[in-house]
Amino acid sequence: MKMRVRIEIGRDCTKALKWFLSYYYLIMSAADIAVGVYPKLEPEDLQILESIELQMKRYEYVPEYNVYEPTSLPPQEVAYRLPNLRKVGLIRRRRGAYTGYSLTKAGYDTLAINALVKANILEAFGKPLGVGKEADVYDALTPTGTQVAVKFHRLGRTSFKQTKRKRGYITEYAYTPDWHRQSRIATKKEYRALEILYQKGVAVPKPFKRNRHVLVMSMIEGEELYHHSELPNPQEVLDEILNNIRKAYRNAHIIHVDLSPYNIILQPSQHILIIDWAQHVTIKHPNAQQLLKRDLQNVIRYFQRKHSLGTKLEEGLAYVKKDTIEQK
């Protein structure tokens, strides 16, 4: 009887532990998990994660016996480490006709972090700067002590169908998760835009490096414009925004496409910074003029409504496009 009671208590404890771990990983973001786990991983763990990632082009769940092949590790070493990687939330397991493994979001985050560390871009992580529908942003340091922002793209977090409709990204591999395929493309696209815009003097973060779905850029200080119910001189802020839209349009030939008070940062210096360029188009895009007009409309209407400014959309359009040679 005592033995039976011990068994029941043991089962209850196991269930409670599983429930706690499930809840723990539910409330923590994938980046939180990856940032916390990464310093504790050994090179062998990272080899296994890379092996699974490589083969997820062909398998939804990579068969356990296939995980061994791309690594230099003996099968018993891999078999020993797989449960630990699963326990810390970097991989998931499925049992059926065979036992297979796939990466979690935290697993992909870990591989991106590792690549950026090996490239001497990242040294240490700080606090989260913001968690949104399509990205998580963290404070970090480079090996030289420079403070940077690390953006983990999360496209498809709320709706894969909506993201595909808005962005139109074409998938490449059969079994790599939708969010990861789309996020990699968005990261590459945003990095390319920031490179051009920064060189042309537009008020954007300086891009440092990208890997997979993660982008490293200069530190973002301040708050989104919509947080500021009052401004000392709202007309100056609007003029600076319009000037930067003009620079992006005239000098870089780029239109933001999703501009709003939610991705315009007002820095402590009271100067602005425009972020989130993953959806940008060039002025050669067939809908370029319509998209430019929509960006300006979002900004000008906000200042009309929130700060009672009299600037009209037609005035903003004329200023942005003044002396511009349209690209055919």
Asked if 312 contacts 300 with a C-beta cutoff of 8 angstroms, the reply is yes
Backbone phi, then psi, for 163, in 5-degree steps? -65, -45
Neighbours of 158 (CB within 10 A): 10
Region label for 94, one of left (φ > 0), alpha (ψ between -120 and 50) or beta (otherwise): beta
CA 247, CA 326: separation in Å to the nearest integer? 14
Contacts of 102 (CB under 8 A, 6+ apart): 52, 56, 59, 60, 61, 62, 91, 92, 94, 175
Angle at 185 between CA 182 and CA 189, to 5 degrees: 135
Task: Say whether 239 is catalytic.
Answer: no
Extract the tokens encoding 218.
């200069």
CA 204, CA 220: separation in Å to the nearest integer? 9
Extract the tokens encoding 36.
């916390």
- What are the DSSP calls for 99-123, one per residue? EEEEE-HHHHHHHHHHHHHHTTS--
Length of the chain: 328
Neighbours of 192 (CB within 10 A): 15
Catalytic residue, candidates 12, 136, 258, 323: 258
CA 101, CA 120: separation in Å to the nearest integer? 30
Contacts of 43 (CB under 8 A, 6+ apart): none
Strand order in the sheet with 223-224: 223-224, 264-266, 272-274
What is the set of active-site residues?
A: 258
